[in-house]
Amino acid sequence: MERNEYDYVIVGGGTAGCALAGRLAEAGHQVALVEQGPPDDHPAIRDSRLSKLFALWRDKNYCRDYLMERAPGDPSWPDVLRGVTLGGCGSINVMIHLRGNRQDFDHWRDLGNPGWGFDEMLAYFKRSETYEFGTSTWRGGDGPIKVRRVGKSIYADAFERAAMEMGFYGPDWDFNGEQQQGGAGPLQFSVDEKLRRSSTVDYLQLSGDPDNPTRLTNHQALRLVFDECGNGQGQVPQVTGVAVLNPSTKTERVLHAQGEVILCCGTYETPKLLMQSGLGPPEHLCSFGIKPRKALPGVGQNLQDHVITSLFYQGAQPLPGLNFLSEIGLFVDIAPGKDLVFDRDGWPTVQFFMNAGVPERRWVNMPENYFAFFPSLTRPKSMGEVRLASPDPRRDPVIDPRYYSHPDDLSIMVNALRLAQKMAGTQAFSGLNLGPISIAEPVPLPELTPQTPPAEMEVYVRAYSRGLWHPVGTCKMGPSSDPMAVVDHRLQVHGVSGLRICDASIMPQICCGNTNATVIAIAEKAADMIGRSA
């Protein structure tokens, strides 16, 4: 007989959902974990080899492409890939494990979110990980997520030496240590000693009970369920459960929460479920015939993503056989409107990745040997939105990223490419660099040189940019005095009882670096807060 009563119902079995469900079950709560995708049983999920990763991305049973809207005159932005399986994007991502910058979290705190500064968040980063070199002031040694470094190819080593030649610190800079910015070093990955993926699905084993949390895979969440008694005008809406579609019977089933319903559906799906349930911008809801239960104008707003572009060079040495999509990194603070003015000790605006010889799905006419720089905006000022396309929960939302809608973002990216050109011309790359190359997509663009005018650089940036699949912010955290805030500092939805949100959508500002580790830390903190309030 199906069980329908739980202490907590968690909607979304992705990175945050699995971590939170595992911690609450470990504490003795009965938890239902609802995931619209299948179990993480695809053989490529745990295999970190690039050939397996690309095969996984092509399997639409486990991955979903979300279409991007675009403004007139903008490029047609590539789709955003999201994991639809237990572990979510943590089961299909490139496994880079990076915390945000200290100033990211201190900024969250200063926006009116007590308890979210870096000193408080550090404990949750440490709790989540087992670092290969063990526990220290900055690193954890007994958490569910295994973290380690991998070897460096000749091209990655040249990148590191080039950065040092330009005045940055190194080698082997630890981006998850005391200071994120200032040095170049090898990236760290969420893999075990056999280079198998480590994801938050491992949290589901913490309770020791195979039936808790209850895993309801292939279940589509339809809408939130409210207590209709005493819910008249002026009353606070109270969420008591969630209606889901039973995949076996194709009938609706309601899961009731004695404690809370917690949304962990992600930056696109969480605001969609809220709006379909009557929580969001009233005018938008009414346009679809949805009766507003609570006016929350910030739902679906504040969408942010890291934007990445690229610069390719002909390599002089045979390409390495890489296990991972990028090996090496550098964080730098590049100012808009100034040519190559940057502060190595500031709050970074750009993250550099680099790879050599990795096949890309999007680019054609690649040479046999190449290496490439990939600058990414860490703190973009451009913000988009998520809207409903239909009241039908089976329809994807409308996603308008509005990349480069703020002029500073385009200016910073142009300067980032200038910095990449300078790195390519260092002594460290002298024996590897045979010159810049152009890639066709679909019309060949001119090769970039240090003499390329800024206007041509901007055309190049727009043509070769895409989102880095790090969307955040559409249900941002903030005090009740902020009319666009959706949740408070305890992740409880403003003006709604029995409902929290715990995923990347609560970030008021995107963090510097890949977002997965920060989402895990958010879930760890949420588990602590819920445990204290239960």
Contact 416, 379 (CB under 8 A): no
Bridging pattern class, strands 188-189 and 214-217: unpaired
63, 129, 65: which is closest to 92 by C-alpha?
63
CA 160 to chain centroid, in Å, comes to 26
CA 486 to chain centroid, in Å, comes to 19
Contact 293, 42 (CB under 8 A): no
Q: How far apart are CA 420 and CA 72, in angstroms?
A: 30
Cis peptide, bond prior to residue 171, ω within 30 of zero? yes
In this structure, what token pair is assigned to residue 325?
A: 């999509």
Angle (CA) 410-412-417 rounded to 5° is: 95
Angle (CA) 341-347-352 rounded to 5° is: 70
3-class DSSP assignment, residue 184: strand
**Where does residue 280 rank: exposed (0-12), middle (13-18), buried (19+ CB within 10 A)?**
buried
- Under 8 Å CB-to-CB from 218, ≥6 apart: which residues? 35, 36, 37, 38, 247
In this structure, the chain runs to a length of: 534
In this structure, what token pair is assigned to residue 295?
A: 């006016």
Distances (CA, A) of 221 to 201, 253, 272, 276: 20, 10, 11, 11
Q: How far apart are CA 435 and CA 449, in angstroms?
A: 10
Distances (CA, A) of 124 to 282, 523, 525: 36, 9, 6
Q: How many CA atoms lie within 13 A of 104 on its CB side?
A: 24
Q: How far apart are CA 240 and CA 262, in angstroms?
A: 11
Question: Catalytic: 470?
Answer: yes
Q: How far apart are CA 406 and CA 426, in angstroms?
A: 32
- Under 8 Å CB-to-CB from 484, ≥6 apart: which residues? 297, 298, 301, 302, 476, 478
Q: Which of 107, 219, 306, 470 is catalytic?
A: 470
Q: Where are the beta strands (DSSP E) in 276-390?
A: 279-280, 294-295, 307-308, 311-315, 328-334, 342-343, 350-355, 370-377, 385-387
Which DSSP string do the residues of 68-127 spell out, in sequence order? PP--TTS--PPPEEEE-STTGGGGTS--B-----HHHHHHHHHTT-TT-SHHHHHHHHHH
Cis peptide, bond prior to residue 348, ω within 30 of zero? no
Task: Return the active site residues.
Answer: 470
